[in-house]
Structure 1
Amino acid sequence: MNIRKVLPHELGEAAALSDFVFRQPDQQSMGRLFPYLFDPGISQSYGAFTEEGKIVAFMGLVPEVIRVGSARLCVFGLGSVCTHPDYRGQNLASKLLEECMEHAKRSGASLVFVSGDRSLYMRSGCQYFGHVHSAALNHSAARSLQAGIADGWTVRNMEPEDIFAVTELFASAQVGYEQGPAQLLALLGASPIPDIYRLNPQALVAIKGGRVQAFALAAVHSADIQSTTASEEPSRAVEWAGDIQGCALLFAEIYNRFPSKHMILPIPWQQEELLRLLQASGAEVTDGRNSGTVWIADASSLLNQCSSLLPDSWGSIFRTNVSLDQERSYTITKGDRELQLDDSGLLSLLFDPKSPHKPMAPEDFKTIPLPYLSGLHFV
């Protein structure tokens, strides 16, 4: 079996394999849902090929840049992992994962975000990470939001001519993926999350003072849905940007236009204002982790790319250790106290506001926020 990069002319065959493994007849092709994996171009992904050149296993990689204030994190998204049933049991996925991890290191990436938590990933060092609240918006909460916010706002469907305004809303956010209008249009057109849940995408904008000030995308049921069983399934917020009150109003409007038992909104911990609005409206809120898992491709790259977010004293108390067998560990020294961390501990300290290791961080250290990973950029 030949393990190598997938060539541009082979991406269509890779999409067909992914469709065979993951898709049902009523669902769209993976090739359409994930254009940055399967459209022609310089592929970052890997496959397992027979001697005859047939692809029988695939692992998709998409390079991204996540903006956190002044920092830029070079990361990969990893997903669409599949093996043809006739070729399972040959350890192909493990071999592909090894190649993808080496690719990430060579590329200078700091992190690889994985859209799953299979034992395959956890055995290879992937970790749960971050902190995300989950708010359940119901009819009463939606009414409360509309009553408290609606003055001065106009809500309508997003139009193609809104693309520059919406792109600017995303670009103005403190935390998010770097993207231009063409990439945003492609992702909005693909919208994989609604299709995964067999729902429909719905994008709205909120206008105040004569300009677009908020955007929201959700996965919703059809307006004319008659099935009681289907309507019991929640609708889901996918992505939003701009004025927080405007975003909350948009989700309330979407919920009322496309009713379901409730709408799930995954709120990253740093979006405190949106969380307060939803709690005040009566939405039920629970706590959890960010979506999927993450692997540290290179700890030095991670700390360098985060350097503008770390206190000046970080370098004097933090040390990276690499053993003879290449196992990584980290030491934090604070006064006469010393703390040893593994990758899981470092990820907790950097990205989890509830990390038990925070007392050992410098006094002026602030938890680094990340976007929710199962939005428009889900792989």
Structure 2
Amino acid sequence: MAVVRRLTNEEMKLAVRLSDDTFRDAEQTSMGTAFPFIFSDAAAHLSYGAFEADGTLVSFMGLVPWTMRIGAAELSVLSLGSVCTAPSARGRGYASQILQQVYAFARDAGASLLLVSGDRSLYTRSGCASFGRVLRYRVSPAQAGLLDGARIGPGSVREAQPDDLFALQAALASRPVRYRLGVNELGALLRAEAFASILKLSQRVLVHEAEGRMTGAVVIGVSRKSDGFGTMLEHTGDPPAVAALFGEAMRRFGLAALDIPVPWHERELQAQLGGIPAETENHPGTMRIADGAALIEQLRPWFAERGDISDLDLRQQEDGRWLLGSRGGPPPSVYTSQQLIRLIFDCAGARDEPAPGGVEAFKHLFPVPFPYTAGLCYI
């Protein structure tokens, strides 16, 4: 029988080794390098593992806290990733045991949401569900001309340099929906290349400047092979400048295709990409509501921006279903976790039943926008 508990700083070396054995090959950097907020000695380690009697780490789940800005609201969010179990210990239920401790910790820590990098039944049978709506554009070289930079007027395009870090952080911080990142956090994530390393891509940053101002910036994962694949990991700035940088990335890096995932709420950038076909999909991974009361409380500034002053209330029943309504109002509506996440975050392609009655009462509040989760901050 293994003991499930939080890891100490020294034990994180064991977690790196188990994660590398599970997820990495000779072409990829160590997970310890790619995911510094899980494994770095400077990180506040919140991760959990299962240890056998001899001290061997046989199962691990990495946990990283974030603050997300949604307009005026700030959400306390935890990301779960690097989930792995040694082959000799699989099938013993260790991952389920760790997950229950993670759920309890998230609730006790005041997190409103838990983001999970996977979508296995391990997660979906305990309240995790697909969420959000993302339009994924795939640009071919023939379509790159549709992103012609002539629309943005004079300016210059170049690759970012270390002395751009403050300007880049300020530009990213100007977005109304985002992970909240300080300068040091941003620098660490640019060096780490977390999601890019999973796809065996290298990370490149292009910026557009006009009249001494950074008008746009994009972070692109670029294939190390000639005429390869690229994917957009982060962007900020004026939508025409951002679109022009996508076209420049196609040409400059010789890309045969560039994937551009754009969350549903970024309408202006979607308009700039209007001539390019897009497919609709969910955010990668799944989401779990860690604490309904905390979620409503943290979202109140967002509701206030919508002109809502009602006393919205969200509670979970013993059977796992949720009650959503207003205190003193009509009886609350009942939702499964999947239905509720679909209602709040506009889950696309959900296979569950449509949300039951009461949806009309919440249309002025939902869906809540959410930053793309497979960018620089991917866990």
TM-score (normalizing by structure 2): 0.91
The residue type paired with residue 207 of structure 1 is: E
Q: Is the 8 A contact 1:135 1:264 kept in 2?
A: yes
CA distance in 2, matches of 1:353, 1:81: 24
Q: Is the 8 A contact 1:332 1:340 kept in 2?
A: no
- Cα drift, residue 321 of structure 1: 4.5
CA distance in 2, matches of 1:345, 1:314: 24
The residue type paired with residue 378 of structure 1 is: Y
Say whether 1:243 aligns with 2:215. no
Q: Residues 210 and 101 from structure 1, CA distance in 2 versus in 1: closer, same or farther, beyond 3 angstroms? A: same
Q: Residues 353 and 276 from structure 1, CA distance in 2 versus in 1: closer, same or farther, beyond 3 angstroms? A: farther
**Aligned ranges 1:11-26 → 2 under 5 Å:** 11-26=12-27
User: Residue in 2 aligned with 1:262?
Assistant: 257
Identity percentage of aligned residues = 34
Q: Residues 165 and 142 from structure 1, CA distance in 2 versus in 1: closer, same or farther, beyond 3 angstroms? A: same
Q: Is the 8 A contact 1:64 1:178 kept in 2?
A: yes
Which segments of 5 or more consecutive residues in structure 1 lack a partner in the other structure? none
- Cα drift, residue 158 of structure 1: 0.3
- Cα drift, residue 342 of structure 1: 2.1
User: Residue in 2 aligned with 1:343?
Assistant: 337
Match of 2:54 among 44, 52, 55: 52
User: Residue in 2 aligned with 1:287?
Assistant: 280
CA distance in 2, matches of 1:18, 1:321: 36
1:22-55 CA distance string (max 9 Å, x none): 1111211000000000001431000111112121
Aligned residue pairs, count: 368
Q: Residues 322 and 370 from structure 1, CA distance in 2 versus in 1: closer, same or farther, beyond 3 angstroms? A: closer
User: Residue in 2 aligned with 1:204?
Assistant: 206
Say whether 1:252 aligns with 2:247. yes
User: Residue in 1 aligned with 2:361?
Assistant: 361
Deviates most, 62-71 or 336-345: 336-345
**Aligned ranges 1:208-223 → 2 under 5 Å:** 208-222=210-224
Q: Residues 321 and 11 from structure 1, CA distance in 2 versus in 1: closer, same or farther, beyond 3 angstroms? A: closer
Q: Residues 366 and 82 from structure 1, CA distance in 2 versus in 1: closer, same or farther, beyond 3 angstroms? A: closer
Say whether 1:278 aligns with 2:273. yes
The residue type paired with residue 251 of structure 2 is: N
The residue type paired with residue 24 of structure 1 is: D
Q: Is the 8 A contact 2:313 2:324 kept in 1?
A: yes
Q: Is the 8 A contact 1:319 1:332 kept in 2?
A: yes
Which segments of 5 or more consecutive residues in structure 2 lack a partner in the other structure? none
- Cα drift, residue 200 of structure 1: 1.4
Deviates most, 74-83 or 333-342: 333-342
User: Residue in 1 aligned with 2:71?
Assistant: 69
Q: Is the 8 A contact 1:320 1:328 kept in 2?
A: no
Secondary structure of residue in 2 paired with 1:306:
helix
Secondary structure of residue in 1 paired with 2:67:
strand
TM-score (normalizing by structure 1): 0.91
